[in-house]
Structure 1
Amino acid sequence: MSKSDFFETLWARMAQQGDFPTLQYCVDNIFKTLNADLTVGEMATSVLSDFSLSQKVIRLANSAMYRSFGGEVTTVSRAILVLGVEAISHLTLGIQLLDYFHGVAPNRPQATRALQRALVAGEITRALSQARGINEGEEAVVCTLMHHMSRLLIVFYFPEEWERVEAMCAAHPMTENEACQEVLGVSMVEIAEAAARKWRLPGLIAHAMKPRALSTDTVLETHADWLAAIAQVSAQAAATMVRDGNQASVEALLLSHAKVLGLDASDVSVAVRQAEVLNASIVESESPAQDAATLAHGARPDNVLERLRQGIAEVQREGAGRTVSQLAPMVLESSMRALDFSRCFLMMLNPSTRHFHARLGFGEGMRERLSALSFEEGFVPDVFHFAALASKPLLVEDTTDAEVARRLPRWYRDAIPDARSILLAPVRIRNRCIAMVYGDWGTARAPAGLGEAELETVDELMREIAAGVLRAAPAQSPSR
């Protein structure tokens, strides 16, 4: 097979299975995020459009490597505030790259081993970076995962050829790269570089996939050199760990490169222990994909009231020094998670135009709907104006009821036609509604047992937004 034939076949097989467009969209969207000056709310909106992804971001933010930041992270919004937009962007890309291969994985041992090596290598890189206090840890993880792309692509799209590569490596003293060149007419490095170009990855990440000869005398002169080196060393360590599980061998390998990478022996010990825990959990599970799915879809919280109070405590702890644009996503997301909303959005009053406009929304499809969600402050007999006048949140249990249906404004029905139950929570300052939080449960009814105590606690959460507005403009009043 010629090199051009190989790549033509690879891209065609990815396109036929419908995999490539989805991954390309994820990559484009994330690097667009990195190149933009996004607010916490905008970044949170991007992550929260995918429930599974948001759960994994929160789980990683609560892992041992980030606990030094203090306090449990229960929302994506706080994870972004704590770790930063860039770290969350790279973390998100790493998750989606792995999810992509989980989603198209055939039930084959080769696929499981390839994913296991990628997962363990990423964990080693993450742990080494965090132990040393290196801020670009998640960027390094992405580089490490991309270091495994060529192997993953061959395993998934050329399974028979990969079996031949493995057989040649077992029978002859040759590397995977050499065997790949002989079987497919292209090296693994060339596959990785072509994938980087195809997916329009930044040059820094693409550069990290090139193998380097590392010795005790090697001097890493640029950040790109360091990224490439830690990706390569982590990949070698992961291969050793997955192959024979010998923790001492893994630690010895990492220690031999520690000085070149700027690491201490204690950093290596921490990383090996952390990676070994992950490796053992993968071995015990049926597959990495099943493990990820189980973790992503946890049980719905039983105690809504407790979750709401936890959200209030987190907002109060984090919110004192935050702007309204940083505080609002935390309040909105806390409401969403506690009440199990399918969709929610925050509307803010523009005093000069006397119109409410949706500024922030979480849930599937909300980003595209925001521009259509707007209403005038002047009274109209509909549910949004009734809620704006109310002293506490308004729960509409059945929008299909004839009397309720006629109180749903057209702009809302056009934008969100399928919500069965909705909650509208006003944010009030000096007897004027200056913002409103909306939430729904999709086509399902509101959860049973949502009573006065829960609604009062939602109102308490809304008062945190009001307090943030007052802190930002203490001398101003929301006069008409």
Structure 2
Amino acid sequence: MSLTKEKTLELLWQRMAERGDFPSLQRSVTGIVSAMQSENTSTADLASSVLSDFALTQKVIRLANSAMYAPFGCNVTTVSRAIMILGVDTIGHLALSLKLLEGFGEVAARRDDMARELARATLAGAFARDITSKNGIRDGEEAVVCTLLHHVARLLVTYCFANEWVEIQDIAVQQGVSDSDACEQVLGISFPELAEAAARKWGLPESIATSMRPIDLEGDAPLSHADWLCAVANMSNEMVTELTRGADPARLAELAERYADRLALDIREVVSVGEEMARDTSHQEFIAISTGASNTRQPPAGKPLDSVRRLADGLSEVRAATGETDAVGLLNLTLEAILQSLGFVNCAAFVRSPASKVFEMRFGIGREVQPLLGLTFPEAFEPDVFHLALTNGRAILIDNAREPRIVPRIPLWHRQHFSNVKSFFLLPVRQRNQTVALLYGDWGGALCAGGIGAKEMEFLHYMGEEISSKLESVAQQNTASGTNTTDSLARKPSGTAGR
């Protein structure tokens, strides 16, 4: 079958939209890009985009604590803190690159051809990140995004044109041409052209979109920013080929020599990074997958075994940020610290609105709570566990919300919107003997194994006190103007009202 470029792109977007098993890649990527480009972007906005995906969150935090960021990270345990330290652009590009990979993860787990391509993309991105980091290059994460986009074109074809993908591979072998040239024969479009089209469709910056185009490394004229990004991506992709061939030092040196001068890199440094990747056990796994092996892992559910240590680290991070951010930023950071420490699937903050006499869900992390931002329940007492926490000012853990004796104490709105939740936790934030916010977290369909111990509860109360202290400080500053304390937690809901 032979198609035109226009017809291929039309079919591609159509098939991406039609197939229910494909993750909402475009929505996720667009959300991150919008948060990065908006003039009014806040730490909370970008953090919310990242935190809507639990697996993505873990990867961002792990990378923020890796050797390349360690001098800045200082034991980062939350995305919010990582943004404060590393900046919106760095974390935004980091999240974007991870999302580009993760968007194909579910499908790759079921298909060997996609697993191989995804492994190659992961290796290429890792090399781009390592080589730019070791050379102190500011735009390293942007280069990673470009590198991954070069591979996204291959992944899109593998996913949406499975039969044509086999034909492309056969033609490349039989005619001795590149698979990109073979793709152009079959689908009427090369991989670079497809990558550029995808970048534009997802609203990525022009510099990234144009970096998909081929470049000529001959000559000594300075490279444009887009050409520099493209050169890094090309070198990273070629490095993957050498890694799968055994990382022969002579071949690595030959590769480095072609790019080093134009990219102002040390040839020995390029070779060294390649050799280190070949020895790294985590990279060896992807090298094996890219040559035919497969591997799948499922994230654990429920409360982590090291929750006490995580809470201690989270509390330290919350305290360190208290003087650096406003009440909204601190509350978001605290929510995230609690979510990471206790393994919550959903985490939210209900804030008291004196004028309306309700508690409103103004902040939330998790796929189920994001659409519910704006959900309210009345401040006036009702015989349920939420109002018990508000009245007593004490944390409450519901081990099993489905127990017959507990069900009548669970408000109807919670049973409707969180029908699958078995265990959940409530932590009131008090100020001047009155509850001004209620923090909520649940484990989805999993039970909270082992409950919440005394040491865990102690750290959680300390986090609540940090928020209370921040609100009190804001209240004192606003006394002269008569601003209500809870106004310091006001923000435009990014979801829809749930009630």
The residue matched to 1:301 in structure 2 has which SS? Answer: coil
Alignment partner of 1:319 is 2:322? yes
Amino acid at match of 2:71: S
- Give the aligned partner of residue 103 of structure 2: 100
1:73-84 superposed matches below 5 A: 73-84=76-87
- The alpha carbon displacement at 1:158 in A equals 4.3
- Is the CA contact 2:35–2:45 (under 8 Å) kept in the aligned structure 1? no
Alignment partner of 1:48 is 2:41? no
1:16-415 superposed matches below 5 A: 17-18=19-20, 22-36=24-38, 37-105=40-108, 110-159=113-162, 161-163=164-166, 165-170=168-173, 174-215=177-218, 217-221=220-224, 223-264=225-266, 268=270, 271-273=273-275, 275-276=277-278, 277=280, 279-284=283-288, 291=295, 293-294=296-297, 296-297=299-300, 300-350=303-353, 355-376=358-379, 378-400=380-402, 404-415=406-417
For structure 2, the residue ranges without an aligned partner over 5 or more in a row are 487-499
Instruction: Give me the identity figure in percent.
Output: 37
The residue matched to 1:65 in structure 2 has which SS? Answer: coil
- The alpha carbon displacement at 1:213 in A equals 0.5
Alpha-carbon RMSD across the aligned residues, in angstroms, is 3.5
- Is the CA contact 2:107–2:114 (under 8 Å) kept in the aligned structure 1? no
- The alpha carbon displacement at 1:324 in A equals 1.9
Deviation readout 1:225-275 (Å, 9 max, x if unpaired): 322222222223333333442244334423442332243457535643554
- The alpha carbon displacement at 1:55 in A equals 2.0
- Is the CA contact 1:193–1:209 (under 8 Å) kept in the aligned structure 2? yes
Instruction: Give the length in aligned residue pairs.
Output: 477
Whole-Å separation in 2 of the counterparts to 1:33 and 1:282 = 31
The residue matched to 1:356 in structure 2 has which SS? Answer: strand
- The alpha carbon displacement at 1:302 in A equals 1.6
Closer/same/farther in 2, CA of residues 351 and 66 from structure 1, 3 Å limit: same
Deviation readout 1:112-153 (Å, 9 max, x if unpaired): 443333222211221222223333322221111112233333
- Give the aligned partner of residue 424 of structure 1: 426
Whole-Å separation in 2 of the counterparts to 1:51 and 1:479 = 32
Amino acid at match of 1:396: I
Amino acid at match of 2:93: H
- The alpha carbon displacement at 1:336 in A equals 1.9
Amino acid at match of 1:58: I
Which range moves more in the overlay, 459-468 or 256-265? Answer: 256-265
Whole-Å separation in 1 of the counterparts to 2:257 and 2:474 = 51
Whole-Å separation in 1 of the counterparts to 2:261 and 2:147 = 19
- Is the CA contact 2:243–2:287 (under 8 Å) kept in the aligned structure 1? no
- The alpha carbon displacement at 1:472 in A equals 3.9
- Give the aligned partner of residue 492 of structure 2: none
- Give the aligned partner of residue 456 of structure 1: 458
Which range moves more in the overlay, 321-330 or 188-197? Answer: 188-197
The residue matched to 2:237 in structure 1 has which SS? Answer: helix
For structure 1, the residue ranges without an aligned partner over 5 or more in a row are none
- Is the CA contact 2:183–2:190 (under 8 Å) kept in the aligned structure 1? yes
- Give the aligned partner of residue 2 of structure 1: 3
- The alpha carbon displacement at 1:437 in A equals 0.9
Amino acid at match of 1:129: T
- Is the CA contact 1:309–1:457 (under 8 Å) kept in the aligned structure 2? yes
Closer/same/farther in 2, CA of residues 452 and 99 from structure 1, 3 Å limit: closer
Amino acid at match of 1:390: N
The residue matched to 2:104 in structure 1 has which SS? Answer: helix
- Is the CA contact 1:373–1:412 (under 8 Å) kept in the aligned structure 2? no
Deviation readout 1:304-325 (Å, 9 max, x if unpaired): 3333223212222343322222
- Is the CA contact 2:120–2:290 (under 8 Å) kept in the aligned structure 1? no
Whole-Å separation in 2 of the counterparts to 1:24 and 1:56 = 19
- Is the CA contact 1:130–1:137 (under 8 Å) kept in the aligned structure 2? yes
The residue matched to 1:90 in structure 2 has which SS? Answer: helix
Whole-Å separation in 2 of the counterparts to 1:104 and 1:121 = 20
Whole-Å separation in 1 of the counterparts to 2:290 and 2:17 = 28
- The alpha carbon displacement at 1:212 in A equals 0.4
Whole-Å separation in 1 of the counterparts to 2:152 and 2:359 = 47
The residue matched to 2:426 in structure 1 has which SS? Answer: strand
The residue matched to 1:64 in structure 2 has which SS? Answer: coil
Amino acid at match of 1:283: I
Deviation readout 1:28-49 (Å, 9 max, x if unpaired): 3232323333333333333223
TM-score w.r.t. the length of structure 1 is 0.85
Whole-Å separation in 2 of the counterparts to 1:133 and 1:158 = 40
Whole-Å separation in 1 of the counterparts to 2:151 and 2:17 = 20
Closer/same/farther in 2, CA of residues 185 and 61 from structure 1, 3 Å limit: same
Closer/same/farther in 2, CA of residues 326 and 9 from structure 1, 3 Å limit: closer
Deviation readout 1:50-87 (Å, 9 max, x if unpaired): 22222222222222222221422222222332333333
The residue matched to 2:239 in structure 1 has which SS? Answer: helix
Amino acid at match of 1:332: L
Closer/same/farther in 2, CA of residues 104 and 384 from structure 1, 3 Å limit: closer
- Give the aligned partner of residue 489 of structure 2: none
1:459-474 superposed matches below 5 A: 459-474=461-476
- Is the CA contact 1:241–1:247 (under 8 Å) kept in the aligned structure 2? no
The residue matched to 1:420 in structure 2 has which SS? Answer: coil
